[in-house]
Homo-oligomer: A and B are copies of this chain.
Amino acid sequence: MYKLICKDGSAKRGEFATVHGVIQTPVFMNVGTVGAIKGAVSTMDLKEIGTQVELSNTYHLHVRPGDEVVKKLGGLHRFMVWDRPILTDSGGFQVFSLAGLRKIKEEGVYFNSHVDGRKIFMGPEESMRIQSNLASTIAMAFDECAPHPCTREYMENSVARTTRWLARCKAEMARLNDLEDTINKRQMLFGINQGGTFEDIRIEHAKRISEFDLDGYALGGLAVGESHEEMYHIIEKTVPYLPLDKPVYLMGVGTPANILEAVERGVDFFDCVYPARNGRHGHAYTNHGKMNLMNAKYELDSEPIEPGCNCPACRHYSRAYIRHLLKAKEMLGLRLLVTHNLYFYNKMMEEIRQAIKQGEYAQYKKKKLAGFAEGGEA
């Protein structure tokens, strides 16, 4: 249940009540693809860095260890030892981007596993069953993330099918939530808006899926190759056609700057692999832009990554030490960097919530973006 606490322009400050606790929005979900955060970060660490929601990938967990295994072990919460909300994606995105040869039919998608090549079929019902087995807090509808760019005709057909699939997802989720042996009988379902950069298709689809009265709505198929400006434009034009009393989730986005812009346009939920991916490349997020810790200038630098940062890495360790660990390929270096980066995102969301509440979001965003620009890429 989503409660809109206040608005500042189009930016929303909300609370989303789930069976696993209340999520304060806007929120950044921390990605744990196979039920674990990259960089050896544990679920105990996540609590320390203020993570509200963990996101896991349905396709990956279906392939390994298998959703039936996770179900037998009591669901994903017990498996990975995390009692706060978990959102699972539908598997669709991975099927369309990772899997080998695939065939899209009305019933769903036939494809080969990226692990062992075995043939798998996944359609709306299969995705819901897998997510029900995983027993996440929020399940995502099974959709097609159409290739970018694609023709208008392709997109229209794809979106129409995604809508038909959504009806099947909703029916199947209702059926599963009623079953005796379902772990989370109050599993929520978010629908996904598609349409690429075709504004009218996006809007039409947003209206259509809003009628399904789901627990939340996502914008899918963005940050797939279009410009930031196109993305912001689509968000701005589409969000008004989604229900104001439901959370809006911008899937797979993005940089801190992307998030600041999207929040301003009414988005509540975010997820992105950047904090971990940048960690792997030796990059740390700071309020003065990204920092490349492999840089020789940090060799003798005894300051923390970001002075004043209260993350477990900055509270204890220096740039020089983390740089040394990265150079020596010690896993601890990656762990400290990823921890810092996730904390940075989580902390920024906290600031965002505060700024919206105080009606100062525009000033906050401006100041934050100016800080990022000081040090280069945000």
Chain A residues close to B by CB (< 8 Å): 34-44, 60, 64-65, 69, 72-74, 78-81, 299-300, 302, 312, 316-318, 320-321, 324-325, 327-328, 330-336
Question: Bound state CA distance, A318 and B72, in angstroms?
Answer: 13
Question: Bound state CA distance, A280 and B72, in angstroms?
Answer: 27
List B contacts of A316 (CB < 8 A). Answer: 42-44, 81
On whether the beta carbons of B42 and A335 are closer than 8 Å, the reply is yes
List B contacts of A325 (CB < 8 A). Answer: 34-36
Also in contact, A324 and B40, with CB within 8 A (given A300-B73, A316-B81, A318-B73): no
Partner of A335, one of B43, B321, B335: B335
On whether the beta carbons of B42 and A332 are closer than 8 Å, the reply is yes
List B contacts of A336 (CB < 8 A). Answer: 42
On whether the beta carbons of A38 and B69 are closer than 8 Å, the reply is no
Question: Bound state CA distance, A4 and B39, in angstroms?
Answer: 44
Within the complex, what minimum Cβ distance (angstroms) separates A254 from chain B?
24
Also in contact, A36 and B320, with CB within 8 A (given A42-B336, A72-B300, A300-B69): no
A-B contacts, 7 listed (Cβ < 8 Å): A34-B324, A38-B330, A42-B335, A43-B316, A72-B300, A79-B320, A331-B331
List B contacts of A327 (CB < 8 A). Answer: 64-65
A-B contact sample (20 more), CB < 8 A, given A65-B320, A79-B318, A79-B320? A34-B324, A35-B324, A36-B325, A36-B328, A37-B332, A39-B331, A40-B332, A42-B316, A42-B336, A60-B328, A65-B327, A69-B300, A73-B318, A73-B321, A79-B321, A79-B324, A81-B317, A81-B321, A331-B331, A331-B334
Also in contact, A312 and B44, with CB within 8 A (given A65-B299, A65-B327, A73-B318): yes
Tell me the nearest residue of chain B to A74, going by C-beta. Answer: B302
On whether the beta carbons of B35 and A321 are closer than 8 Å, the reply is yes
Nearest first, the 7 closest Cβ-Cβ pairs linking A and B are A40-B331, A40-B40, A40-B335, A36-B330, A65-B324, A36-B332, A34-B328
Output the residue of A37, A324, A334 with the most chain B CB within 10 A.
A324
List B contacts of A72 (CB < 8 A). Answer: 300
On whether the beta carbons of A321 and B69 are closer than 8 Å, the reply is no
List B contacts of A302 (CB < 8 A). Answer: 73-74, 78
Output the residue of A34, A60, A321, A325 with the most chain B CB within 10 A.
A321
List B contacts of A324 (CB < 8 A). Answer: 34-35, 64-65, 79
Tell me the nearest residue of chain B to A41, going by C-beta. Answer: B332
On whether the beta carbons of B38 and A331 are closer than 8 Å, the reply is yes
On whether the beta carbons of A320 and B73 are closer than 8 Å, the reply is yes
List B contacts of A321 (CB < 8 A). Answer: 35, 73, 79-81
Output the residue of A35, A37, A38 with the most chain B CB within 10 A.
A35
Within the complex, what minimum Cβ distance (angstroms) separates A177 from chain B?
25
Within the complex, what minimum Cβ distance (angstroms) separates A329 from chain B?
9
List B contacts of A332 (CB < 8 A). Answer: 36-37, 40-42
Tell me the nearest residue of chain B to A301, going by C-beta. Answer: B73
Within the complex, what minimum Cβ distance (angstroms) separates A66 from chain B?
9
Question: Bound state CA distance, A328 and B44, in angstroms?
Answer: 20
